[in-house]
């Protein structure tokens, strides 16, 4: 680990993790890995902010009901909607691990946040998460009045695997003529499961929280077969055409194996004529965005996302 590359907040987080003696996630059974992920998130999060209303719902999907959690700030006029897909490699994390983040985002963006508890692998492998993610987006658009949202200001957002799902549902919405998406927010997204071999993968393979071995474990648990990695619904960077997609805010972390593929996707979007704002947070690791209680740049990134959503016409 090169501490000179890292922000002091990050160094403190990594040193605390090392001191805890927590095992590598990929060495654990899935149930234990999920418990470890929850405990890890709890250790680095701020106190949850108050939101005017929080509702737990179950909505119909093509294959099963989908749990969602709706965070609604206090407002008399229809708000922007943020359909949020949590990270966790499609294997770990849930509505509870991202509770603090979603509350903060609802307040900062002054938007209704609809957090989606899509099915996890390996119990439900690709494309189950994709199916649930798109179904939740469609349900949100169809229930705009009930949710008190403005369907012209629909946002999809997510971190890591959730950033992947946000990119994928943006393509699905384009190809299916809706729902209309005003902005896609991709926070250190997974964009290419076919090749875990970028320079950032090699440079930050170990010692920077998310490891190459952990990503390999996620991929193995998520996909049904290796060739699924070539499907653009798993690897949006491999999509042949990115024209006509919604504007994008892409956030990456400097010391993250996923950095290069996230930035490569932003570049391809730009080349396709999509308006893109791309920000690399120096000295940050994966998943700094959710470390609201330990890393100042987490709160800075949430402010950036909130301001982008507030600026929607």
Q: What is the pLDDT of residue 72?
A: 98
Query: Which of the following is catalytic: 159, 256, 260, 297?
Result: 256
Give yes or no for residue 1 having a pLDDT over 80. Answer: no
Residues, the chain, total? Answer: 313
Q: What angle do CA 162, 163, 167 make, to 5 degrees?
A: 115
Cα–Cα dist 185/247, whole Å:
9
Q: Which of 160, 166, 200, 235 is catalytic?
A: 160
Q: Is the pLDDT of residue 201 over 90?
A: yes
Phi/psi region, residue 244 (left: phi>0; alpha: psi -120 to 50; beta: rest), is left
Looking at residue 213, its pLDDT comes to 98
Report the pLDDT value the prediction gives residue 241, as an integer from 0 to 100.
98
Instruction: In whole angstroms, give the CA distance from residue 288 to residue 310.
Output: 22
Active-site residue 150, yes or no?
no
- pLDDT computed for residue 238 by the predictor: 98
CA distances from 199 to 238, 257, 284 (A): 18, 8, 16
Is the Cβ–Cβ distance between 302 and 289 less than 8 Å?
A: yes
CA Rg, the chain, in Å?
Answer: 18
Q: What is d(CA 234, CA 211) in angstroms, rounded to the nearest whole number? A: 19
Is the CB of residue 84 less than 8 Å from the CB of residue 157? Answer: yes
User: Collapsing DSSP states into helix, strand and coil, what is residue 133?
Assistant: helix
Listed in sequence order, the residues at least 6 apart from 4 whose beta carbon sits closer than 8 Å to its beta carbon are none
Is the whole-model pTM more than 0.85? yes
CA distance 273 to 285: 29
| Helical axes 128-142 vs 161-175, angle rounded to 10° | 60
Residues 7, 41, 148, 286: which is the catalytic one? 286
Q: What is the pLDDT of residues 246-261, one digit of tens each?
A: 999 999 999 999 999 9
Cβ-based neighbour number of residue 303 at 10 Å: 13
Quickly tell me which residue has 């994390």 as its tokens: 93
Q: Do 97 and 115 contact (CB within 8 A), yes or no?
A: no
110 catalytic, yes or no? no
**Residue 135 and residue 58 in contact, taking contact as beta carbons nearer than 8 Å:** no
Q: Is 286 a catalytic residue?
A: yes
Q: How many other C-beta atoms can be found within 10 angstroms of the C-beta atom of residue 311?
A: 10
Q: Which has more confidence, 201 or 2?
A: 201
- Show me where the domains of the chain are located: 3-310
The CATH superfamily label for domain 3-310 reads Alpha/Beta hydrolase fold, catalytic domain (3.40.50.1820)
Instruction: Express each pLDDT in 63-118 by its tens digit.
Output: 999 999 999 999 889 999 999 999 999 999 999 999 999 999 999 999 999 999 99
């Amino acid at each position: 680990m090169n501490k000179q590359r890292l922000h002091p907040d990050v160094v403190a987080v990594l040193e605390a993790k090392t001191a805890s003696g927590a095992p590598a996630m990929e060495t654990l059974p899935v149930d234990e890995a999920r418990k470890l992920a929850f405990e890890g998130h709890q250790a680095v999060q701020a106190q949850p902010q108050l939101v005017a209303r929080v509702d737990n719902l179950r909505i119909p999907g093509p294959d099963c009901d989908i749990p969602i959690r709706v965070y609604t700030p206090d407002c008399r006029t229809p708000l922007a909607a943020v359909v949020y897909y949590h990270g966790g490699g499609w294997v770990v994390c849930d509505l509870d691990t991202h509770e603090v983040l979603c509350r903060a985002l609802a307040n900062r963006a002054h938007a209704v946040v609809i957090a989606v508890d899509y099915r996890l692998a390996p119990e439900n492998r690709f494309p189950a998460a994709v199916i649930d993610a798109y179904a939740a987006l469609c349900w949100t658009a169809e229930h705009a009045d009930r949710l008190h949202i403005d369907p012209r200001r629909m946002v999809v957002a997510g971190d890591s695997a959730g950033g992947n799902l946000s990119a994928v549902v943006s393509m699905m919405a384009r190809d299916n003529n809706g729902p209309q998406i005003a902005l896609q927010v991709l926070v250190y997204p997974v964009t290419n499961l076919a090749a875990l071999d970028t320079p950032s993968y090699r440079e930050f393979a170990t010692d920077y929280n998310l490891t190459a071995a952990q990503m390999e474990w996620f991929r193995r648990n998520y996909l049904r077969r290796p060739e699924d990695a070539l499907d653009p619904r798993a690897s949006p960077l491999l999509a042949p055409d990115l024209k006509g997609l919604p504007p994008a805010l892409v956030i990456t972390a400097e010391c993250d194996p996923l950095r290069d593929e996230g930035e490569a996707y932003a570049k391809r979007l730009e080349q396709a004529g999509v308006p893109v704002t791309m920000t690399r947070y120096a000295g940050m690791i994966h998943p700094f965005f959710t470390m609201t209680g330990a890393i100042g740049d987490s709160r800075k990134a949430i402010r950036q996302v909130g301001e982008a959503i507030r600026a929607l016409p």
